[in-house]
Structure 1
Amino acid sequence: MTLAVRAEHLAERMDDPDCSETMLRRTYERFGLVNRAVACWGRVYRELIRPELAALERAGHAARILDIGCGAGDVLHRLIAAARRDGFAVAGVGIDPDARAIGAARPGPGVHFRRAYSRELVDEGATFDLVVSNHLLHHLGADEFDALLADSARLGERLSVHSDIARGRLAYAAFSLGALPVAPGTFLRVDGLTSIRRSYTPAELAERLPAPWRVERPGRFRLLAVHRPVSPRILP
């Protein structure tokens, strides 16, 4: 096993349509704990998302957030809850092509989920103020990666943020040990380690992104692909 190059050939067990439904359900249920521990969305919200929400609020606009590849929706619910605690008017939509993920997602006030690809929303003419994803980039083949960036640039009128893992030996070792308490009965540990092996280094992601996308680092083990439109929606 090596971490020197991306292991693009590996597949995660939970992506297998014939995987254990019980283990899959438990995995979705515990994603929230793992994402809170490792995904740095608190910092991303404070430094990138909240300033955009404040600008929209000053202009009298309620914000709309799209979560692409939302899984069971824990990240979207967390962002919406944080925004509402700060007094912002906000609604969220989560999309995922996997019916099992949408089945595990729980709608709430102003938070909706649907089974869809981002291209379907583009074709519908939909737009959002903010577009996010979590642990999606490393799942994608080359063409899918390019399509996601293109769709995000069209859907996100003010900001797109795709958060993923920064591949490295320390990240692999830390997750291998840190996931043990929550891993029993789930795919979290084995798929998490596979995810790290499939993920990008900062240099690899920077080389992969076209302008004006850029790489940011909210934490030692995290990467962000960030896009701000050249001509964002003008607020009054």
Structure 2
Amino acid sequence: MSAGGWARLDARDTALLELMDDPDCDPRRLAATYRRFDLVNRAVSGWGGVYRAHVRPRLRALGRRGRVLDLGCGGGDVVVRLAGLAARDGLEVEWVGADPDPRALRSARERERPGVRFVSRGSSELLADGERFDIVLSNHVLHHLDAAQLRGFVDDSRALARSAVLHADIARGRLAYALYAIGVTPLAPGTFLRTDGLRSIRRSYRAEELARTLGEPWRVQTPAPFRVLAVADGMAGAHG
């Protein structure tokens, strides 16, 4: 990698646009990217640990059937994986994946199964619909948003959640960049995985940056290597 490539990791490169965010991108490559996100997220996203540390204890404490929302669910692989973990633990949960992008919803609905459904909705629309959930989570959404979008997204997520909000993302760093560039190569042909993954890292926050950006009451953790997790209590009433 060039010296310039390293330098661009010193600060967030918010001018970069990811190829799959282009509404005119190749639909076949986009669909292939969504399908292969399952493998990538299982390898790098750390959701197994987040489920054990945050999701499972809160669901068990409810004493009733829970509701969990994956906000900006993309291809739906994370919410489906978490649903499988909860089912294995004997937890009764309604899982909802929401994304306003119809291209993402087409891929997500291929994963639909009993107890997991997908809706074409953004956070403000879900609030207007009167929807409330016990836990609201997201994966790899924060780095896509500008400052105003980020504030609206995190505020809406707290308003939608009764118990907790968990926003997971990549932690920007040189080692993360180098390892991803090498590791994703076998999965990348026919997809946007390599180009967009590297751009995502360059757009992402470091833990201290995200904590400073979000402010109170958000707590930013590092649940796995090269990962950040923003955690806050939900604001929805117990009967909201």
For normalisation by structure 2, the TM-score amounts to 0.94
Runs of 4+ residues deviating >6 angstroms: none
Partner SS for 1:105: helix
CA contact (8 A) 2:177 2:198 kept: yes
* 1:84-103 aligned within 5 A: 84-103=87-106
CA contact (8 A) 1:158 1:232 kept: no
* 1:208-219 aligned within 5 A: 208-219=213-224
Tell me how far 1:88 sits from its aligned partner.
0.4
Tell me whether 182-191 or 225-234 shows the greater mean CA deviation: 225-234
Inter-partner Cα distance in structure 1 for 2:191 and 2:202:
19
Inter-partner Cα distance in structure 1 for 2:236 and 2:158:
11
Aligned equivalent of 1:45: 51
Over residues 144-193 of structure 1, what are the superposed CA-to-partner deviations in whole Å (9 max), with x where a residue is unaligned? Answer: 10001110110011011000000000000010000001001100010000
CA contact (8 A) 1:166 1:199 kept: yes
Instruction: Select the residue among 15, 21, 26 that pairs with 2:21.
Output: 15
Aligned equivalent of 1:31: 37
CA contact (8 A) 2:131 2:160 kept: yes
CA contact (8 A) 2:158 2:236 kept: no
Unaligned ranges ≥5, structure 1: none
Partner SS for 2:60: helix
For 2:119, the aligned partner's letter is: R
Aligned equivalent of 1:81: 84
Aligned residues: 231
| Alignment RMSD | 1.3
Aligned equivalent of 1:185: 190
For 1:150, the aligned partner's letter is: D
Identity %: 52
Aligned equivalent of 2:166: 161
Tell me whether 129-138 or 221-230 shows the greater mean CA deviation: 221-230
Tell me how far 1:230 sits from its aligned partner.
6.9
Partner SS for 2:95: strand
CA contact (8 A) 2:69 2:136 kept: yes
For 2:163, the aligned partner's letter is: R
For normalisation by structure 1, the TM-score amounts to 0.95
Tell me how far 1:233 sits from its aligned partner.
3.3
Aligned equivalent of 2:12: 6
Tell me how far 1:63 sits from its aligned partner.
0.6
Aligned equivalent of 2:230: 225
